[in-house]
Amino acid sequence: MRRFVGPFLKAGLLLTGILILGLLALEGAARAFHWWPDPFLQPDERFGLAHIPNASGWWVNIEAPGEFQTPVRINSKGLRDREYPYEKPPGTFRILLLGDNFAEAFQVPLEDSFQEVVEVRLNGELPLPVEVINAGTWLYSTDLELLFYRLEGRNYRPDLVLLAFHAGTDVLESHREMEIRYMGREYKPFFVLKDGELELVNFPYPVPQEPPPQGIVGRVKGFLAAHSRLYPVAGRFIRRYLRRGGGSAAGGAAATSGAEAIPMDLYLYAVDPPPEWAEAWEVSKALIRQLRREVEADGGRLAVVLIPDRRQVEAGYLDWAMRTYPAMAAYTWDMEHPNRVLRTFLEAEGIPYLDLLEVFRQRTQEQGAELYYPRDGHWNVAGHRLAGEEIGAWLVASGLVPTEEGR
């Protein structure tokens, strides 16, 4: 009997050793080739999510890992930027940038982000030092940007607050009922309109507490989730394989709006959208008004940059959507509709703004430039460069930055 057990035991140990070595090799490859992004965000009772101070690592597109691999570092105050003290250096003009993923710019190296392009340009043209502090954060919309300014941004004493408004997400994400339905959960504080006034709700945000892992399997899973780069890649591969094997996954609330099977976020471009979109626009306008009041009360000035969505810039999207979602025929659509709404509002309020849509369309459709990553949908280096040059020139031409000593 021992003659048979010995060889089987040796073979089993050999196979186990090969398996362990193979897994270690794959883990090393996952880390070396950045198959999964490093963690940069954590739950936060003020904003729902916030950057992890001093986090560093790599950001990749898990849908297309070869699209970009970007080194990212978060500073000690939780900003994707260099270190800046709250106290403003004497004689310095300070700009605070508020925005979402476009401003956060994880898709490109920090030095290629549009705010860095603006800072370099202004420091080469203006008679005094300029700092552009980047507070852009993933999943932030105008509500969280107002809250960030109120709780944190004003500490930097900015002379100018630049709001990067991305209508493609900001309007929907600032409306509590629609965003909860879209995301399937409430993940942050919201401002709601009551009798025409903004009221902050779900604040502080009750951060969900993860239950402690149960049993050996639970503890092993928890350890791997916290320390392995291969574990989430393997889990995602398995889930996708099982979905393919079991047929198409059921669609969720985020995919469509009601029985019409029109993606909810597409209603942004409807000239005659459902009534809740009119309310969402009123919330967004109220948030911008309130941000201006608070910025001006602190001695600063507010200006707005309208960030064009890729769907607006690249030709053919509306035709494709009309073919794909036949129910859209019941509405009138205009891909420039959100920009018209915003321009009319900002002009009536006397808030200076720059709309980047037309220059991005011209550069893309007339010159064939690729300004967005095909899979990720955010700006590539060329997109950031174009935005930074346009914003820098506009800030100087519009007098939003001092062009002479003493101004």
Residues 6+ positions from 265 with CB-CB distance below 8 Å: 168, 169, 172, 182
Determine the average pLDDT of the residues in 227-247: 65
Q: With H, G, I as helix, E, B as strand and everything else as coil, classify residue 308.
A: coil
- Residue 227 pLDDT greater than 90, yes or no: no
Q: What is the DSSP string of 6-71?
A: HHHHHHHHHHHHHHHHHHHHHHHHHHHTT-SPPP-EEEETTTEEEE-TT-EEEEE-TTSTTS-EEE
pLDDT of residue 117: 98
pLDDT of residue 36: 82
- Residue 249 pLDDT greater than 80, yes or no: no
pLDDT of residue 221: 65
User: Which tens digits make up the pLDDT trace of 63-109?
Assistant: 888 899 999 999 999 999 999 999 999 999 999 999 999 999 999 99
Instruction: Say how far apart CA 34 and CA 110 lie, in whole Å.
Output: 18
Longest dimension (CA), the chain: 96
Instruction: Say how far apart CA 306 and CA 150 lie, in whole Å.
Output: 22
- Residue 136 pLDDT greater than 90, yes or no: yes
pLDDT of residue 254: 44
Q: What is the DSSP string of 171-188?
A: HHHT-HHHHHHHHSS--S
Instruction: Say how far apart CA 375 and CA 52 lie, in whole Å.
Output: 26
Describe the crossing of helices 275-297 and 337-349 by its angle, rounded to 10 degrees: 40
Determine the average pLDDT of the residues in 116-126: 97
Confidence label for 247 from pLDDT (cuts 50, 70 and 90): very low
Q: What is the DSSP string of 279-342?
A: HHHHHHHHHHHHHHHHHHHTT-EEEEEEPPPHHHHSTTHHHHHHHH-GGGGGS-B-TTHHHHHH
Q: With H, G, I as helix, E, B as strand and everything else as coil, classify residue 44.
A: strand
Among residues 300, 351, 384, 403, which one has the least CA distance to residue 106?
384
pLDDT of residue 280: 98
pLDDT of residue 32: 65
Place of tokens 């919330």: 283
Contact 327, 262 (CB under 8 A): yes
Instruction: Report CA torsion sign: 254, 255, 257, 259.
Output: negative
- Residue 407 pLDDT greater than 70, yes or no: no
Q: Considering the chain, what percentage of its residues have pLDDT values greater than 70?
A: 84
Contact 189, 24 (CB under 8 A): no
Place of tokens 């507070």: 135
Contact 188, 205 (CB under 8 A): yes
Among residues 30, 67, 74, 32, which one has the least CA distance to residue 49?
74
Contact 198, 133 (CB under 8 A): no
Distance of CA 229 to the CA centre of its chain: 23
**Lowest-pLDDT choice from 90-94, 204-208, 235-239, 355-359:** 235-239
Between 254 and 345, whose confidence is greater? 345
What's the CATH superfamily of 31-397? SGNH hydrolase (3.40.50.1110)
Cross-strand partners of 51? 41
Contact 60, 37 (CB under 8 A): yes
- Residue 237 pLDDT greater than 90, yes or no: no
Determine the average pLDDT of the residues in 144-148: 98
Place of tokens 């090969």: 18
pLDDT of residue 261: 87
pLDDT of residue 73: 98
Determine the average pLDDT of the residues in 280-288: 98
Instruction: Say how far apart CA 174 and CA 279 lie, in whole Å.
Output: 10
pLDDT of residue 248: 36
User: Which tens digits make up the pLDDT trace of 6-23?
Assistant: 666 676 677 777 777 776
- Residue 1 pLDDT greater than 60, yes or no: no
User: Which tens digits make up the pLDDT trace of 286-334?
Assistant: 999 999 999 999 999 999 999 999 999 999 999 999 999 999 999 999 9
Determine the average pLDDT of the residues in 18-46: 79
Confidence label for 151 from pLDDT (cuts 50, 70 and 90): very high
pLDDT of residue 251: 36
pLDDT of residue 284: 98
Contact 307, 342 (CB under 8 A): no
pLDDT of residue 252: 39
Instruction: Say how far apart CA 56 and CA 43 lie, in whole Å.
Output: 17
